[in-house]
Amino acid sequence: MPVGQRLKALRTNRNITIREVERASLRIAEARRDKRFSISNGWLAQLEKGVSKPGICKLFSLSVIYRVKFLDLIQLYDVDIDEIEKYEPVANPNATQLVSAETQNADFPRRLPTLSGSSVRRRRTSLMRSAGLPDGTAFAPDQDRGARPTSYGYIGLNDFTMYPLIRPGSLVRIDTEQHKLNPVVWHNEYERPIYFIELRDAYACGWCELHGNELLIIPHHSSPESIRRVNYPKEAEIVGRVIGFDARWVDNDSSDLEIRAQKRVRAKSNAR
C-alpha cells in the first residue's frame, strides 16, 4: 500500500476528518509557538495522495493526533533509525571504522567504495562484528575454526599502514580471542603478528609493540605511514589478531592507489 494511503488509513481508523486534523495541528502549533507544526487540510489531502512529503514538524503533529509513535511514522517512508550504524561506513568511506553485524549482508560489498569511480569502497578501515562474511571476498571457508569468535575488518582506501602487504580496500579476518600482545617468535613479515586496534575515534591495523603504557602501531617498512604512538589501554584497545586477509593484490585502478601512496610519501617528507 502506498505511504499516502497508509497515512489516510491511520486517520480514518481514528475517525478523524481532515478538518479535525487541521484544527488539532493548529493547537499544537500554538502551544509550540511554531507554525511549522500546523497542517492545512489542503496539504494533508496532497500528502494522502502521495503528492507531497511531510517535514519533521508536521510528522510530529500527525504522530500526536493519530496517537502513533513518531518513529513508526518515519518508517512508513522507508527510514529506519536502527540502520544509522549500518550506513555510517557508507557515509564516511575514508576512515577506518567499526561495522556492525547489521551492515554485513549480501548487499554489503556493493555499498563499499572501490578504487574505481562509480562503485566506491570505503576509505576508512572498519570492523564487522559477525562471523558471517559478505559475498565477493577471497576468503576460503573456515573448516577448523570451530566456535572461535571471529570478526572481519575493512581496510579503508586511505589506510596505507600495512601497504603493500595488506592493500587499502582489503578485508581482514580477526581472531578476537587474541586481544593481548603476547610475545611471539617471528622470522619474517608474514609471521609477525598484525593486530586490529580500536582507538578513541578511529580504527587501525598494523604491527604492534608495547613500551610501558605506550602502544606503538608500526606500519609496513614500505608504507608511507609513520609509527603511531598511543596511550594503552587508555586510548587504544586491541580488538584481536589478524589471522587472514583477502588476496586483493591488483585493482582495476591500481594506478590511483599508487598515486595516492606517492602523495602520502611526499606529504610525509614535507612534514619533516
Nearest to 154 by CA among 79, 205, 230, 190: 205
Q: Specify the pLDDT at position 270.
A: 62
Contacts of 21 (CB under 8 A, 6+ apart): 11, 39, 41, 44, 62, 65
Beta pairing partners, 194? 207, 242
Q: What is the pLDDT of residues 108-164, one digit of tens each?
A: 544 544 444 333 345 566 666 544 444 445 554 454 455 567 788 888 888 999 999
Q: Which three cell numbers stand for residue 238?
A: 586491541
Q: Which three cell numbers stand for residue 267?
A: 606529504
Which one is the CATH code of 3-76: 1.10.260.40, 3.90.1660.10, 3.40.640.10, 3.90.950.20? 1.10.260.40
Confidence at 171, pLDDT banded by 50, 70, 90:
confident
Q: What is the pLDDT of residues 81-115, one digit of tens each?
A: 877 767 766 676 666 665 555 555 545 544 544 44
Tell me whether the CATH fold assigned to 3-76 matches the one assigned to 86-271. no
Region 222-227: what's the mean pLDDT?
93
Give me the residue spans of the domains in the chain.
Answer: 3-76, 86-271
Residue type, 218: I
Region 28-51: what's the mean pLDDT?
94
Q: How far apart are CA 123 and CA 210, in angstroms?
A: 27
Q: Specify the pLDDT at position 248.
A: 55
Give the CATH architecture of domain 86-271.
Answer: Ribbon (2.10)
Q: Which three cell numbers stand for residue 266?
A: 611526499
Nearest to 151 by CA among 124, 169, 125: 125
